[in-house]
Structures are given as structure tokens and as C-alpha cells.
A = this chain, B = another copy of it.
Amino acid sequence: MNIEMIEAAAARCAGHIRKTPLIHSPFLDEIAGRRVWVKPECLQHTGSFKFRGGWSAVSALAPDDRARGVIAFSSGNHAQGVAAAARGHGIPAVIVMPRDAPQLKIDNTRALGGDVVLYDRAGGESREEIGAALAKDRGLTLIRPYDEPQVIAGQATTGLEIAEQAAAEGITRAEVLVCCGGGGLTSGIALALAARAPGMTVRPVEPEGFDDVTRSLATGKIQSNLGPQMGLCDAILTPQPGTMTFPIMSRLCGPGLVVTDAQVREAMRLAFLRLKVTPEPGGAVALAAALFHHDAIAGDAVILTISGGNVDPAVFARILSEGEVA
């Protein structure tokens, strides 16, 4: 992985991915005690940054391989990103999804042209076996969600945009908080910024109980989550950092930050109220850290990602109704 590979991904993605804005609100600045800049990837095609990695990976395939199609495992956002990227290239995409994934994500993946195969996460079915059999039969190429160089290079285009947009605002030094699951977005942004905005430090953010990356960074080796595999922040509940992403994060990132579900819900309400965008829970952890863990952050400006916005309306409505935002 190097900056040339990221620049090449950006060139393949140009005109296909959406360049999301870098936005802010004086109301959020006041809560955080510093200027808060938000990169709302919920406005990306398919509602999350995953479309960047999907497009990068599909567009990087050799034409013959690409023509046979791709396959992905995903509980949601990677599924939609790969399905939409495959449709954009006119090729088939098989998406293996857990039966208990949010219904909206399953529906959207189908509507985006994905051939969805459901499996029973609790019942012990192996998605790897299901996928391997399908891939072999049809000659499909597997697009991994984060341990895949071209996927990381695609997510890294978010970092290229942050570097350019922050420079335009006069910001060259800042902590950059990234919602972190397997680490594809985090390591991609870290690689891009190391090359294009070396005064910035990327810090992964995770929900309480799923702080595998934070603990891995603190101990210097890969740690797993021990608790339940389900939680509010479904998009980023990976069991451990990737074998490809962890060394990158370990080399380039600052310490992780961990937020509570209550802070996530409050961040979702504030994003609605002050930014007019709709983060999903997993997409709101970095905003929650910026707003409610400001003592753990340095500098007079902080940049953060809202990584996705694919949240069921009933869930969002309930979270809006719960809150009392002054």
C-alpha cells in the first residue's frame, strides 16, 4: 500500500464516487470546545463510504475476472457498496448476508442489483463455506470488506478529500476521528493523510464493548472482542482488526477512543439537529467522541467521519424521540 496506489484508486473512482463536503456547525463547536469538521459519508452513494472501496476493487479487476462477477460477505454497508459498484460496471454480484441484518440493508442490496444469499448467523452456518462454493461454481472474485488492498485504497480516497478540504479551510494540524470496524476506512485515511497532510493524526473510534482496535493498538497486538456480537452500532461490530489493516493503524494511528451507546444516540440527535444528516449508530461514534470526549482530544480543530447513514426509520425515530436536546 502506498500513495500511488491510492491516487490510482482515486483516478478510477473519479466521476463515480461522490466528493462529500466537509461541514460544520457553530452549535457543535460550542459543545466540543473547538472547531468540529464533519465528513458526512452518509451522503456517499449507497449511504456509506463502502461504495468507495467497492468501486475501487471492482474497477481494479482484470477485465476477464470482472466479467464473471464478484462476491462479498457483509451485514450491510459493504454489501450495498459492492452491489452498486458491480451494477455500475454491468457485472453480477452475489452478496452473502446474515438473515438478521437490518432489513433496510438487505432490501437495498437487492434493489441495487445484488443477488442476496442469506445465512443463519446464530445457527452456525458458515458464510465462508457458502461463499466458497458459490465462488468456485461461478468463478466469482471475492471482495473482502477491509483486508483487501484495493478496498483500503478506495476508502483512502476519503482521506485525500479530507486533506484537500482541510487545507482549503487553513487546517493542517488536527486529530481525525474515524468510525472503526475492521479498520479499512481508518487505515485508508491514515495512509492518505500520512502522505498528503502529515500534521494530522488519525484516531479510531469504537463503541463500548467492541473496542478491539483500541485494545489492540494499546497492547501492540491483535485483540478480539469477547462479549456479544450484536449491538446498537451494527455496522462496525467486527470481532477484531484486520490482519492487513492492523499493522497500518499500529504504525500511523494515535490511541483509540471508546464511546457509550447513550453518547452515540445523542450524537445522532445532534447530527440531525445541527447538520441535517442522518448517521446510523455505527456512523455516529466519531461524532460522539468529538462531542463528549473532548478532554481526550488535542488541538483547536477536530475532523471526523460520519461513516454511514443506513438506519431503519423506526430506529431513528425512536432515538430522536428519546432525546432532550436543548
Could you say how many copies of this chain the assembly holds?
Answer: 2
CA distance A281 to B20 in the complex (A): 24
Q: Which one, B23, B111, B321, contacts A313 given CB within 8 A? A: B321
Bound-state CA distance A272–B272 (Å) is 10
Q: How far is the CA of A111 from the CA of B19 in the complex (A)?
A: 31
Say yes or no: is A181 at the interface (Cβ < 8 Å to chain B): no
A43, B18: Cβ atoms under 8 Å?
no
> How far is A104 from B274 in the complex, measured between Cα atoms in Å?
11
**A136 contacts the other chain (CB 8 A):** no
With A21-B18, A23-B18, A276-B43 as known contacts, state yes or no: A313 contacts B309, CB within 8 Å.
no
CB distance from A277 to the nearest CB of B (A): 6
Question: Is A94 in contact with chain B by the CB < 8 A criterion?
Answer: no
| Interface-central residue, A20, A275, A276, A320, by most chain B CB under 10 Å | A276
**Bound: A104/B112 CA distance, A:** 37
Distance in Å: Cβ of A135 to nearest Cβ of chain B:
27
Q: For chain A residues 312-326, which have a beta carbon within 8 Å of chain B?
A: 313-314, 316-318, 320-321, 323, 325-326
Q: State which of B27, B43, B111, B112 has its C-beta within 8 Å of the C-beta of A23.
A: B43
* A76 touches B (CB below 8 Å): no
CB of A304 to closest CB in B, whole Å: 16
Looking at chain A's contact residues, is the secondary structure mostly helix, strand, loop, or mixed? Answer: helix
Can you spell out 11 A-B residue pairs with CB atoms less than 8 angstroms apart? A18-B21, A21-B43, A26-B84, A27-B111, A43-B275, A272-B278, A272-B313, A272-B316, A276-B278, A313-B325, A317-B318
Check if A313 sits within 8 Å of B276, measured CB to CB: no
A278–B276 Cα distance when bound, in Å, is 5
Does A52 have its Cβ within 8 Å of any Cβ on chain B? no
Min CB gap A325→B, angstroms: 7
Query: Is A269 engaged at the interface, CB distance under 8 Å to the other chain?
Result: yes
- Residues in chain B near residue A84, CB distance under 8 A: 26
A27, A43, A313, A321: residue with the most chain B Cβ atoms closer than 10 Å: A313
Contact with B along A29-58 (1 / 0, CB 8 A): 000000000001011000100000000000
A321 near B325 (CB under 8 angstroms)?
Answer: no
Report the minimal beta-carbon distance from A57 to chain B, rounded to whole angstroms.
Answer: 20
Q: Does A218 contact B (CB under 8 A)?
A: no
Chain B residues within an 8 Å CB radius of A111: 26-27
